[in-house]
Amino acid sequence: MLRSLVIKMSTLLPGNIVYGGPVTGTETQSYKSLGHYVMEKYKSFGDKAALIDGVTGQEYTAQYMYKSIVRLAHVLKHLGIQSNDVVGLSSENRIEYAITMFAAFAVNATVAPLNITYSEREVHHAINLSKPKVMFASKMTIDRIAKVAKNNSFVKKIVVFSDSSPNSHVLSFKELMESKKIVSSDTFECVTANKGEDVALIVCSSGTTGLPKGVQLTQSNILITIDSQLEPTAIPLGEIKMLTVIPWFHAFGCLTLITTACMGSILVYLPKFEDHLFLSAIEKHRILMAFMVPPLMVFLAKHPIVDKYDLSSLLVLLCGAAPLSKETEDQIKERIGVPIIRQGYGLSESTLSVLVQNDNACKPGSVGSLKVGLYAKVMDPDTGKILGPNQRGELCFKGDCIMKGYIGDTKSTQTAIIDGWLHTGDIGYFDDDFEFFIVDRIKELIKYKAFQVPPAEIEALLLTNPKIKDAAVIGKPDEEAGELPMAFVVKQANVQLSEQEVIDFVAERASPAKKLRGGVMFVDEIPKNPSGKILRRVLRDMLKKKTKSKL
């Protein structure tokens, strides 16, 4: 049988600790830095296609990537970027994004990707976590970025992915790359990094307490993840075409961009999901493997337009970021004939997936088995006892892929990582075959189309409305999106306030994922425990009763 992922057998160590086995790959360890490794890989692939723009069909070879990265590395040095400086990146998926990220790695800088849907308030918060010295943006985001950067003196330069600059305060990417004033050569000498300490990425991960936290992933975190991905597989990953529409500012998208570059795979990328474009890219490029999230899987399973395209090349769908139902998986297999659908489970804080399905670990409802190089335990959240097979508790992981910590937030870091163990806030268990299952969340994040939406942030926003006395937000189950943010609102006495007014109030002040697509329910009071914590379970029960009464 064709295998899409490496099959390793986990073992149970004393104290009910699950071990995924050693990482046998050591390819990355002899390189000076993450940037050095990526550059040398591109250099070794020569004229082989590396990236394909799924919209224009433009192919970019590994040699083109290498030369572009070398040039931009010299440009970054000219702009004053040194080791451990931060480069901000706000753009949809495009070739300049990849070149900028890898060039920043080459000069041993840190990359801070920003969600392109962030409002000005959210951009301000995010860049004040990472403090970028130079910011790169696309035409889609440049106005917002420039406006916020103006009020933050640590941003010294702004570069737009464009042929020319819109004003004197913004530099043009193309003009910088072609400028004869900036001296460069055909090579770039990477410095030797402290790979265990030097941060490669600061990705934003939403917490349950409000605005995003900055997850610091070291060069070592990423390199060890690449080594674990390079374990031998039955599919020659360096010879296949993969498709992604996952945003590269998202940890899932960003890390898959890095790992596929190092494997030598051909990555066809799209800037956003459009049904015709997505399906035609699979058909035209004969895509063998695609990176997916559950809403895309539901689309493949149910949308009538899918039948108009030849998707027979698809062999593997890798789905992450949120749970996928067995019904959707079965529908896709029956409809398209994709033989291998694999789920995984990971967090920004764990660099990429920590649990992945394979041929020996793909029971319905499972998220697979533990990846190599990792330890896992299931802990009773009340007593701290380490639990055995088939007992539910908080999932905790330990290994070289676990983040350095949250930037500028020692308290949250110490809460998340205790004695080297990352506490996920997710409730799950492993069975007698060491397959893991996720059953609930301690943390209260809403998963809307793979985006993490913190209820506390929307609640805080709602409470700024003078007509609202109190508010609570939960995720309303939705087959296509996973969950839709929904608000329970207590109005101030003697005021008129409609559901649409509340929805519009949030939509005007927050990014699209945080819109109240689940609607608004007006209530007399928000249920809370004696310490004032919102009882979301009670709110979910209220929603269920309301839903049943409508049936």
CA distance 92 to 100: 13
234: DSSP letter: S
Q: Where are the alpha helices (DSSP H) in 79-141?
A: 95-106, 120-130
Where do we find the tokens 């993490």? 452
CA distance 138 to 107: 22
Beta bridge partners, 387, equal 378
Contact by Cβ (8 Å): 369, 436: yes
Give me the pLDDT at residue 207, please: 53
CA distance 512 to 453: 10
Q: Positive or negative CA dihedral for 292, 295, 296, 298? A: positive
Burial of 540 (0-12, 13-18, 19+ CB in 10 A): middle
What Cα–Cα distance (Å) separates residue 407 from each residue in 217, 381, 400? 10, 26, 18
For the domain covering 446-545, report its CATH number. 3.30.300.30
Give me the pLDDT at residue 238, please: 63
Q: Which two tokens stand for residue 339?
A: 């033989």
Give me the pLDDT at residue 231, please: 59
- pTM for this prediction: 0.84
CA distance 127 to 333: 43
Would you give the end-to-end CA distance of the chain in angstroms?
A: 46
Per-residue H/E/C for 15-45: CCEEECCCCCCCHHHHCCCHHHHHHHHHHHH
> Which of 295, 291, 395, 406 has its CA nearest to residue 346?
395
- Model confidence pLDDT, tens digit, residues 133-160: 999 999 999 999 999 999 999 999 999 9
Q: Which two tokens stand for residue 90?
A: 């706000």
Instruction: Give the residue extent of every domain in the chain.
Output: 61-217, 446-545
Residues of the chain under the 50 pLDDT cut: 1-7, 208, 234
For the domain covering 61-217, report its CATH number. 3.40.50.980
Please calculate the CA angle 103-65-231 and round it to the nearest 5 degrees. Answer: 90
